[in-house]
Amino acid sequence: MAQQYDTLIIGSGLAGLTLALQLADQQKVCLVSKRQISDSASNWAQGGIAAVINHKDSVEAHIKDTLIAGAGLCDEAITRMIIEHGREAVEWLIDLGVEFTRENDDSDFHLTREGGHSHRRILHVADATGKAVQETLAQRVRKHPNITILENHIAVDLITTKKLHKTQKNSCLGAYVLDIASGKVLTIGAQHTSLATGGAGKVYLYTTNPDVSTGDGIAMAWRAGCRISNMEFVQFHPTCLFHPQEKSFLISEAVRGEGGLLKLADGTRFMPNHDERAELAPRDVVARAIDFEMKRLGLDCVYLDITHKSPAFIKKHFPTIHQRCLALGIDITTSPIPVVPAAHYSCGGVMTNHHGQTDIDNLYAIGETSCTGLHGANRLASNSLLECLVLARAAAANILKAKPRTMPDLPYWDESRVTDADEEILITHTWNELRRFMWNYVGIVRTNKRLSRAMHRIQMLRDEVHEFYSNFRVSNNLIELRNLLQVSELIVKSAMQRQESRGLHYSRDYPELLPEAEPTILKPDDHYSLLDNKHGHYLFDAY
C-alpha cells in the first residue's frame, strides 16, 4: 500500500519545518528530509531575519531597500505582502521560544544593519540565528503526534496526473521517495505536496551551502511541468575559506568591515583598482573583482589580510573565525586568510504565487527552492529567512482551506528492468567535472562563449547520466547528480537568454542594462516520455 497523508513536505529547513507546524494541528503531515532534520542551509544562517520591528523603521523603507537590491525585477505586490507579514511571522517564532538577542537592558531586541538596508532591522540570535531557529522548530516537530518524520529519505520525483493518466490538467498526487538505508523506493500519496528543498549551491565548485543544496526541488518541479524563473541570478559570497579540509566556511564580511584587506599572494592589494570603495564595495562588486584577478592570473585563491590589527582585537571580534582557522593551521593574527568567492544563494526557482502555489494543482514550493518575485535580480541580505517563514505560513493557510479530493491508486516504483550499478566512478567523476566547469564558465562573470561551452558539456554528461539512471537502481548520489545537471542546464539556459547585465548576472558580451526589466521564465516542453519508455523505473527515466 502507498502511504497516504494530507500533506507531504519535502525538506526540513525553515520553510519545511514552519509549514509542518502550521498544518499539523489539523492534518496528518509527512516530513521527508534527505539527511538529518538539522542538515539544511537554514541551520547555517548566521546574520538573521529582516523584519520591521523598530518604530523608526517602516514597511515602506524595507520595501524600497528590497526593490533597489532587486534591480528592477522584484514583484512589488509579493514584496509588499512578504514584508507586511514579517512582524507577525517573527512574533510566531518568539512565541515558540526563539530567544532573539536583546539590547543590554533586556527590553528591546538588538537589531543589526546589513548591506543594502537603510535601517537596523535584522533580528538575530548572536551569530548563529539559523541554528537557534532550526533547533526550536525541530524540537516542536519531533514532539508533534501528527507529523511523521522520514530522515535519510530522499525524494526522487513527483507523481502527477499528467504523468500517470496523460491528463491535460496537471495535479500532484505525491512523490516517490528513496529510503537511503534500505535502498527501497516508497510511494507516498498526499492531497498536497510541498517542495521545501532549499537552494542549489552544490552546482558550483565553491559554495557556502551544505551538501544537501543540490536543487532537487527545482529539478523535480521542472520534470513535472512547472515553470522555472530567474535561474541566472546566483548570489556569490566574496570570501569563503579556501582550504582542502574545509568545504564551505564563510569568512564574514565584518572582517573587511573592520579593516581586512584583499591581496594577491605577493601582498599586492587589488580592490582599489576595481572600485573606489575598495574592500568596502558591495558583495557582488568584490566577488567580481576577486574572480577577475583569479582568472587573469590563474590563481587558486586570493588572501584576506587582517594581521595589521592587534591579536587581541582579532580574537575579540572574530573568535569563531580565529579558532576555526587555527585548527586548520592558519593563525589569522599573523597570516593572511586564503579565500575564494563561493555560490551562496539561488534567487531563481520554481515559480509560485503569493500562496506558494506552483503551476501544478496541489503542488507548492516554498523557501529558497521557489521564485516568488521577492528577490528579483539580487537578494537583499536576510530577506531569505523572512521569505521562508511568510510563504510557509501563507501556503499553510491556503492548504487548510482546500476541499479534500479522491485520490487514485498510485503505481509502485518499478525496478524490474534495472540492476545494481557496477561502479560509482561515473557519478563522482561527473559531479566533479560539472562543478568545476560551472564555476569556470557559468560563475560570477559570464560570456557567450563560456556559456555555450558549458551547455555543450552539460548535454554530453546528461546523456551519460540518463543512460546510467535508466539502467541501474537509484542511489542518493545518482539522484543528486541528475538534479544538479538539470539545474545547471536551467541556469545556463537562463543566462543565455539574458542579453544584458543586471543584478547578479554579469556578461562581458552584454555589459549594459536594458531599459525594460524582464524576468527569465523557462517553460517545460513535454520533455518526459510517458508510459512508453524502454528502460527501467517506469515513468521517470527521461529528462
Ligand X SMILES: Cc1cc2nc3c(=O)[nH]c(=O)nc-3n(C[C@H](O)[C@H](O)[C@H](O)COP(=O)(O)OP(=O)(O)OC[C@H]3O[C@@H](n4cnc5c(N)ncnc54)[C@H](O)[C@@H]3O)c2cc1C
CB-nearer residue toward ligand X: 484 or 492: 484
**Binding residue for ligand X, selected from 6, 65, 75, 216, defined by CB under 6 A:** 216
Nearest CB to ligand X, comparing residues 496 and 503 = 503
Note if 393 is an active site residue: no
For ligand X, the closer of residues 33 and 520 by Cβ is 33
For 79, the enclosing helix (H) or strand (E) is helix 76-84
| Residues contacting 195, CB < 8 A, separation 6+ | 10, 11, 217, 220, 221, 350, 358, 363, 364, 365, 366, 369, 370
Q: Does 10 bind ligand X (CB under 6 A)?
A: yes
In one-letter notation, the amino acid at residue 540 is: F
Stretch that binds ligand X, among 6-14, 303-311, 444-452, 506-514 (CB under 6 A): 6-14
From candidates 7, 8, 12, 174, binder to ligand X by CB under 6 A: 12
Choose among 149, 141, 122, 134: nearest CA to 42.
Answer: 134
Where helices occur in 160-245 by DSSP H, the ranges are 161-165, 216-224
The number of C-alpha atoms within 13 Å of 306 and in the hemisphere containing its C-beta is 28
Interface residue with ligand X among 19, 155, 173, 218 (CB under 6 A) is 155
- Listed residue (540, 543, 542) closest to 164, CA to CA: 540
Residue 196 contacts residue 16 (beta carbons within 8 Å): yes
Candidate ranges 11-19, 311-319, 321-329, 491-499; the one touching ligand X (CB under 6 A): 11-19
298 CB neighbour count, 10 Å cutoff? 6
| Among 29, 196, 332, 351, contact with ligand X (rule: CB under 6 A) | 196
**CA–CA dist 156, 523 (Å, integer):** 21
Per CB under 6 A, does 11 bind ligand X?
Answer: yes
Between 137 and 442, whose beta carbon lies closer to ligand X? 137
Residue 7 binds ligand X, judged by CB under 6 A: no
Contact segment (CB under 6 A) with ligand X among 58-66, 195-203, 326-334, 425-433 equals: 195-203
Helix, strand, coil % over all residues of the chain, rounded to 5: 35, 20, 45
Shortest distance (Å) from residue 368 CB to ligand X: 4
Site string for ligand X, 219-258 (x = CB under 6 A): -------------------------------x--------
Burial of 299 (0-12, 13-18, 19+ CB in 10 A): middle
Q: Which of 283, 379, 450, 462 is catalytic?
A: 283
Q: Which residues share a beta bridge with 207?
A: 343
Residue from 368, 426, 485, 496 that binds ligand X (CB under 6 A)?
368
Q: Which sign, positive or negative, has the C-alpha torsion 71, 72, 78, 83?
A: positive
Least distance CB 152 / ligand X (angstroms): 9
Which span (85-93, 309-317, 379-387, 499-507) binds ligand X, by CB under 6 A?
A: 379-387
Helix axes 86-96, 76-84, angle to 10 degrees: 40
In angstroms, what CA-CA distances link 60 with 53, 86, 115, 382, 431?
13, 13, 17, 17, 44
17: its cell numbers: 519545518
Interface of this chain with ligand X, residues 20 to 79, rule: CB under 6 A = 32-35, 39-42, 44-49
Of positions 8, 67, 141, 212, contacts ligand X by CB under 6 A? 212
Pairing status of strand 261-263 against strand 49-50:
unpaired
Span near ligand X by CB under 6 A; candidates 361-369, 428-436, 442-450, 513-521: 361-369
Three cell numbers written together for 18: 514552519
Q: Which is nearer to ligand X, 14 or 294 (CB)?
A: 14
Q: Site for ligand X (CB under 6 A): how many residues?
A: 43
Is 154 among the residues that bind ligand X (CB under 6 A)? yes
Q: How far is the CB of 84 from ligand X (least distance, A)?
A: 17
Cα–Cα distance, 530 to 413 (Å, whole number): 14
Site string for ligand X, 416-455 (x = CB under 6 A): ----------------------------------------
Nearer to ligand X, 39 or 359 (CB): 39
- What is the nearest approach in angstroms of ligand X to the Cβ of residue 404? 25
Q: How many CB atoms are located within 10 Å of the residue 3 CB? A: 17
- Residue closest to ligand X, measured at CB: 13
Q: Where are the alpha helices (DSSP H) in 116-215?
A: 129-143, 161-165
Q: Considering the complex, what minimum distance in angstroms separates the CB of residue 98 from ligand X?
A: 14
Specify the residue, 37 or 330, whose C-beta has the smaller distance to ligand X.
37
User: How far, in Å, CA of 499 to CA of 495, rounded?
Assistant: 8
Residues constituting the chain? 543
CB-nearer residue toward ligand X: 47 or 496: 47
- CB of 274 within 8 A of CB of 262? no
Helix (H) / strand (E) element for 4: namely strand 3-10
| Residue list 317-356, contact with ligand X (CB under 6 A) | 345
In the complex, least distance from residue 272 CB atom to ligand X, rounded to whole angstroms: 28
* Cβ contact 90:49 at 8 Å: yes
Binding span for ligand X by CB under 6 A among 271-279, 366-374, 418-426, 432-440: 366-374
Which residues are annotated as catalytic? 283
Binding site for ligand X (CB under 6 A): 10-16, 32-35, 39-42, 44-49, 129-130, 154-155, 196-198, 208-209, 212-213, 216, 250, 345, 367-369, 382-385, 388
